[in-house]
Structure 1
Amino acid sequence: MDFGVGLMILGGFLLGGAWSIWRADHDTEGRTGPQVLFAVILLVAALLATASGILRLV
């Protein structure tokens, strides 16, 4: 398996984790600050890993 493909797969997992955290909200309070922060961090990491994987394949 090429390293670029591995980075794209890692980006997909991170994107799924960000989506899972974003969907998990509290019944009465909604999303908490740490949930939003962690989801944004995972989203940025997913985008960076995917972009790096695409650039490695080119």
Structure 2
Amino acid sequence: MNTGILLLVLGGFLIGGAWSTWRADPGPQGRSGPQVGFAGILLIAAVLATASGILRLV
């Protein structure tokens, strides 16, 4: 399997994880700080993996 395609798939899973973490039940006080931080870290990792996959394919 091509490394670029593998990185694109990984980026998709990370985006899904960030979305799932963000959409988790926020409760009456809203989202907690660690929840926002974890979703942000997953989103940054997803963007980096997707960009790396695109660059490997080009």
How far, CA to CA, are the matches of 2:36 and 2:20 in structure 1? 11
CA contact (8 A) 1:4 1:55 kept: yes
- Taking structure 2 as the reference length, the TM-score comes to 0.95
Q: Deviations over 1:12-56 (max 9, x none)?
A: 000000000000133211110000000000000000000000000
The answer to whether residue 38 in structure 2 is matched with residue 38 in structure 1 is yes
- Taking structure 1 as the reference length, the TM-score comes to 0.95
Gaps of 5+ in 2: none
Gaps of 5+ in 1: none
Aligned length in residues:
58
How far, CA to CA, are the matches of 1:16 and 1:56 in structure 2? 22
RMSD (Å), alpha carbons: 0.7
Letter in 2 for 1:37: G
Query: Where do 4+ consecutive residues of structure 1 move more than 2 Å?
Result: none
How far, CA to CA, are the matches of 1:25 and 1:35 in structure 2? 10
CA contact (8 A) 1:11 1:45 kept: yes
Letter in 1 for 2:31: R
